[in-house]
């Protein structure tokens, strides 16, 4: 059975259900549980649900310590950029402890970070920065694109014995979708083939998955049958599913809201070039954001972003139907 929920509520449902199931799950964050009617605070009490000062480094570091001691903290960071304040804890402590201890300790920790809020939030609250984290050994990276995955990937993130950076896209916050009832876990490292097709493979990430699906519908009207793949997690990355699709279609477009050189798209393109070159009938195209800070002005913001026309154009290029831009 399933029920309809907005993406953001699906995330909260997963956290609540895991907190009900497992008393070791804690929930920390700035500005959470600031009043006595907060539903998490009412249900789970002040020991497990804690508002923290604006001290990302101490907050995340403390969560790492609690994880080493056997708890499963979920840290609410609101903005992905706030993790940058605490980079040492995220990419140099949490992720390395299991390894450097020779496997003696585990760090089951979820860093819940919203990203990509290109809705007038300007340059410091809009970044699509998962690319910074996907090459960090010991850290896992989840990027849900649907309400169902938002729940299922959060459940898996909480149950995982490694630190997980869970990136939820702010422009998807109120997007509704069918969400399975009860316990629902989506495995990490298993891409979702969101649309099957044989002419071209389009890989989308997070918010660009629905953009890619919309572009695929436009292309279908022109007789182009695109396959759309959502990796769901960037680390682990399901390279096999992408390679399998490219083996079938021979053409690849990767769509990513990140800046080009910091994107997951660049890594995916490199993997296909390295391991699937023989399948390619055309050069790979990347549709990414401009290499720029997200501007405040609304039309400028739109100009920066990957959108359906840019995806359609890139697909026509790899099909040889449109000139390749210089």
Give the active site residues: 125
229/209 Cα distance (integer angstroms): 8
103/182 Cα distance (integer angstroms): 33
Interaction mask 149-188, other proteins, x per CB under 8 A: ------------xx--------------------------
Structure tokens at 171: 């422009």
Using the rule CB under 8 A, which residue among 7, 77, 89, 179 binds other proteins? 89
Q: Is the dihedral of CA 46, 89, 109, 72 positive or negative?
A: negative
Task: Closer to other proteins by CB, 6 or 65: give it.
Answer: 65
* 226 C-beta neighbours (distance < 10 Å), count: 27
Q: Are 227 and 183 in contact (CB under 8 A)?
A: no
Q: For the CB of residue 45, give the shortest distance to other proteins in the complex, in Å.
A: 11
Q: Are 103 and 73 in contact (CB under 8 A)?
A: no
Task: Closer to other proteins by CB, 100 or 300: give it.
Answer: 100
**Footprint (CB under 8 A) of other proteins, residues 24-83:** 26, 47-48, 50, 52-53, 55, 57-71, 73
Using the rule CB under 8 A, which residue among 20, 21, 99, 176 binds other proteins? 99
Task: Closer to other proteins by CB, 103 or 223: give it.
Answer: 103
Structure tokens at 242: 């992408």
Q: What are phi and psi of 198, to 5 degrees?
A: -120, -5
Greatest CA span in the chain, whole angstroms?
61
Q: For the CB of residue 259, give the shortest distance to other proteins in the complex, in Å.
A: 27
Task: Closer to other proteins by CB, 85 or 290: give it.
Answer: 85
Using the rule CB under 8 A, which residue among 97, 115, 117, 207 binds other proteins? 97
1/72 Cα distance (integer angstroms): 28
Using the rule CB under 8 A, which residue among 13, 18, 76, 93 binds other proteins? 93
- Piece of the chain touching other proteins by CB under 8 A; list 94-102, 257-265, 271-279, 305-313: 94-102
- Strand order from edge to edge, sheet including 233-235: 49-51, 25-29, 72-79, 110-115, 164-169, 140-142, 233-235
Binding region for other proteins (CB under 8 A) = 26, 47-48, 50, 52-53, 55, 57-71, 73, 88-89, 92-93, 96-108, 137-138, 140, 161-162
């Amino acid at each position: 059975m399933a029920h309809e929920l907005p993406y953001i509520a699906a995330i909260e449902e997963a956290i609540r259900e895991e907190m009900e199931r497992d008393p070791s799950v804690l929930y920390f964050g700035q500005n959470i549980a600031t009043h006595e009617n907060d539903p998490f605070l009412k249900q789970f009490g002040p020991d497990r649900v804690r508002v923290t000062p604006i001290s990302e480094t101490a907050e995340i570091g403390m969560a790492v310590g609690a994880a080493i001691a056997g708890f499963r903290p979920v840290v609410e960071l609101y903005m992905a950029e706030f993790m940058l304040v605490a980079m040492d804890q995220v990419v140099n402590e949490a992720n390395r402890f299991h390894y450097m201890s020779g496997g003696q300790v585990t760090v089951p920790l979820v860093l819940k970070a919203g990203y990509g809020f290109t809705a007038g939030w300007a340059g410091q609250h809009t970044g699509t920065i998962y690319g910074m984290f996907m090459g960090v050994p010991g850290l896992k990276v989840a990027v849900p694109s649907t309400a169902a995955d938002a729940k299922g990937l959060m459940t898996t993130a909480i149950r995982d014995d490694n630190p997980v950076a869970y990136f939820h896209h702010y422009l998807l916050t109120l997007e509704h979708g069918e969400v399975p009832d009860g316990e629902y876990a989506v495995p990490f490292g298993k891409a979702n083939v969101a649309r099957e097709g044989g002419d071209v493979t389009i890989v989308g990430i997070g918010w660009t998955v629905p953009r890619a699906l919309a572009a695929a519908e436009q292309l279908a009207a022109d007789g182009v049958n695109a396959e759309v793949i959502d990796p769901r997690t960037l680390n682990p990355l399901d390279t096999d599913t992408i390679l399998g699709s490219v083996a079938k279609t021979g053409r690849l477009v990767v769509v990513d809201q990140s800046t080009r050189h910091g994107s997951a798209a660049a890594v995916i393109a490199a993997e296909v070039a390295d391991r699937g070159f023989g399948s390619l009938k055309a050069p790979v195209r990347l549709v990414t954001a401009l290499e720029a800070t997200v501007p405040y002005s609304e039309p400028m913001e739109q100009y920066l972003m990957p959108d359906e026309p840019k995806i359609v154009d890139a697909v026509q290029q790899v099909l040889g139907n449109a000139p390749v831009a210089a």
